[in-house]
């Protein structure tokens, strides 16, 4: 596999899947925080 | 009107909204567009437009719906001013017009699932003839009716008892099925060739402006940004609910699903077709549209599913999984389109029961031409598909009218927000989104003039004339009835 293919795959997957995991973890964190504070 | 129903939790809202965004476009359109635009060369601009088109518009839709608590007509009238209610009506009409033929497409998916599960799909070697027999008979009409009936019942049950309850099962099931198909596909021999093509960029192709415009179009169509659908679900989000983080989750979640579907289809097609042997060429098959862009999904993939293994039962299992996933994706999107039209009528004073009966009956009747005539469906898909870009422009315009900075600080970053967004949003929604709209609409119209010398002729299926003609009629009517619409909404 060419370096450019691996590089593109890494960029695309890390932004899209990485972004999803990042935002999901943030949402879980905020939800936990809110339920600890009795907001939920 | 007092708000009566809300999504019961953040996760219920996110799952239902993912259901809007993930549709058949992620599964069959995405792979075809990637193949036609040079594989990896397309993916880079596609990621860029996720960031500068989809996410800003999804944020905008969430914020407008949460603020106005009205469907597109009332919302745009509240943010842009009463004299622009017609813009909201146009947004609502575009999604409604798409709903008419999308119900037909949902019916195709259901019919192919039944064919695959019963083994009937594999009783023939000529899948083009199989498709032609199906599409020219009475069955598309029957399955259009069944799809509309199922979805109307779900929407009739309301937000928590209908939409939330159903999407809570369908969306996770869809994701699990796609993951099963994904792992099966990438473990097929020679699948790596498909993955290589999918991710290998060609710098020359990437510098072609058409690839960028196609990437923008794909984002506009498959994330549901600018359709008014997310705006409609946002009416039912609780006041303490966040906007920006939820919007980012929808955009990134949707494009993640597209990547899973794309890798699955490229791996399967490259693994099971044998290029150069005269049997089939993988790239030709992926990028070939077929009637109404159905070639890959309804004609070529059934041939491939028959070759997954030597066991008929295993082949039937995987084909059934694929078509049920497609059906779930279509149903969850169709639900939101029916809800948008229903909600618009509720704003005009209908109760939910009367509104849904009217929408289902109109949806079925006005979908009949698309169910019976593929050329009509192709025309409607073209006119209202491009119309979505205009819808996005109207949503962006309403924010500019409201005041971009005020909109960001008071509504997006207001009560309930987990994540405050900065001034960069003003630039994206106030300048970059309108610039993208102008570029895209001009490109579509100019391209259509190059492939149709009679570009002005409104009776051709896919050209500028038919778009301008149908848009002008719809906009003309809504401008004429602008005051009446505003009065009617205010009186409710």
What's B10-490's CATH class?
mainly alpha
Is the confidence at residue B293, as pLDDT, over 90?
no
> According to the model, what pLDDT value does residue B279 have?
42
Q: Tokens 């946002």 identify what position?
A: B234
Q: At what angle do helices B374-402 and B433-451 cross, to 10 degrees?
A: 150
Q: Which domain holds residue A15?
A: 1-40
Q: Which of residues 246-285 of B touch A (CB under 8 A)?
A: 246, 248-249, 252-253, 255-256, 259
Give the one of A8, A23, A40 whose C-beta lies nearest to B199's C-beta.
A8
Test the A interface: residue of B252, B259, B260, B266 with most A CBs within 10 Å: B252
pLDDT class of B66 with cuts at 50, 70, 90:
very high
Per-residue pLDDT tens over the stretch B142-161: 999 999 999 999 999 999 99
Share of chain B above pLDDT 90, in %: 63
Per-residue pLDDT tens over the stretch B191-225: 998 899 899 998 888 888 788 888 888 888 888 88
Give mean pLDDT, residues B96-117. 96
Per-residue pLDDT tens over the stretch B345-388: 999 999 999 999 999 999 999 999 999 998 899 899 889 988 88
Give the one of B10, B256, B419 whose C-beta lies nearest to A31's C-beta.
B10
> According to the model, what pLDDT value does residue B277 have?
46
> According to the model, what pLDDT value does residue B292 have?
57
Q: Is B399 on the interface with A (CB under 8 A)?
A: no
Give the span between the Cα atoms of B160 and B409, in whole angstroms. Answer: 30
Note whether B43 contacts A8, CB cutoff 8 Å: yes
Read off the tokens for B453.
């010398």
- Is the model's pTM score more than 0.90? yes
**Which phi and psi (to 5°) does residue B98 adopt?**
-70, -40
Note whether A27 contacts B10, CB cutoff 8 Å: yes
**What three-state secondary structure class fits B260?**
helix
Is the confidence at residue B391, as pLDDT, over 50?
yes
Note whether B44 contacts A8, CB cutoff 8 Å: yes
Give the span between the Cα atoms of B484 and A25, in whole angstroms. Answer: 47
Give mean pLDDT, residues B151-175. 95
Number of domains in chain A: 1
Give the span between the Cα atoms of B130 and B302, in whole angstroms. Answer: 10
Read off the tokens for B44.
């880079």
């Amino acid at each position: 596999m060419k370096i450019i293919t691996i590089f593109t795959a890494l960029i695309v997957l890390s932004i899209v899947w990485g972004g999803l995991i990042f935002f999901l973890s943030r949402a879980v964190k905020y939800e936990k925080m809110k339920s600890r504070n009795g907001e939920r | 009107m007092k708000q009566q129903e809300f999504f019961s939790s953040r996760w219920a809202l996110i799952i239902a909204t993912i259901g809007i965004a993930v549709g058949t476009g992620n599964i069959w359109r995405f792979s075809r567009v990637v193949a036609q635009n040079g594989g990896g060369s397309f993916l880079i601009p596609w990621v860029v437009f996720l960031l500068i088109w989809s996410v800003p518009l999804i944020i905008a839709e969430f914020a407008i719906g949460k603020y106005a608590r009205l469907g597109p007509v009332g919302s745009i009238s509240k943010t842009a001013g009463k004299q622009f209610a017609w813009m909201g009506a146009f947004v609502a009409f575009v999604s409604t017009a798409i709903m008419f033929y999308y119900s037909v497409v949902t019916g195709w998916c259901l019919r192919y699932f039944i064919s695959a599960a019963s083994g009937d799909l594999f009783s023939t070697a000529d899948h083009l003839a199989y498709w032609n027999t199906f599409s020219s008979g009475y069955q598309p009409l029957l399955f259009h009716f069944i799809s509309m009936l199922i979805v109307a019942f779900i929407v009739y049950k309301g937000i928590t008892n209908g939409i939330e309850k159903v999407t809570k099962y369908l969306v996770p099931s869809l994701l699990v099925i796609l993951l099963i198909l994904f792992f099966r596909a990438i473990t097929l021999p020679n699948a790596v060739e498909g993955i290589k093509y999918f991710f290998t960029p060609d710098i020359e192709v990437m510098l072609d402006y058409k690839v960028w415009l196609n990437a923008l179009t794909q984002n506009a169509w498959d994330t549901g940004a600018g359709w008014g659908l997310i705006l409609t679900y946002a009416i039912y989000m609780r006041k303490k609910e966040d906007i920006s983080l939820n919007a980012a989750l929808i955009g990134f979640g949707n494009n993640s699903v597209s990547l899973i579907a794309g890798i699955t289809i490229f791996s399967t097609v490259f693994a099971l077709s044998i290029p150069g042997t005269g049997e089939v060429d993988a790239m030709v098959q992926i990028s070939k549209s077929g009637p109404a862009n159905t070639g890959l999904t309804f004609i070529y993939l059934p041939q491939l599913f028959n070759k997954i293994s030597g066991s008929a039962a295993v082949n039937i299992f995987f084909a059934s999984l694929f078509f049920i996933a497609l059906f779930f994706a279509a149903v969850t999107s169709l639900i939101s389109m029916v809800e948008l039209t229903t909600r618009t009528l509720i704003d005009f004073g209908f109760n939910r029961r009367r509104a849904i009966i009217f929408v289902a009956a109109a949806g079925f009747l006005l979908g009949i031409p698309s169910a019976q005539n593929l050329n009509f469906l192709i025309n409607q898909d073209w006119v209202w598909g491009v119309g979505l870009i205009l819808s996005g422009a109207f949503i962006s315009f309403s924010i500019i009218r409201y005041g971009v900075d005020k909109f960001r600080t008071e509504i997006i970053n207001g009560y309930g927000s987990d994540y405050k967004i900065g001034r960069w949003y003003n630039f994206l929604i106030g300048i970059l989104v309108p610039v993208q709209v102008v570029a895209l609409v001009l490109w579509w119209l100019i391209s259509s003039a190059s492939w149709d010398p009679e570009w002005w002729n409104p009776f051709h299926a896919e050209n500028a004339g038919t778009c301008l003609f149908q848009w002008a009629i719809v906009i003309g009517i809504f401008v004429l009835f602008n005051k009446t619409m505003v009065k009617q909404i205010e009186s409710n």
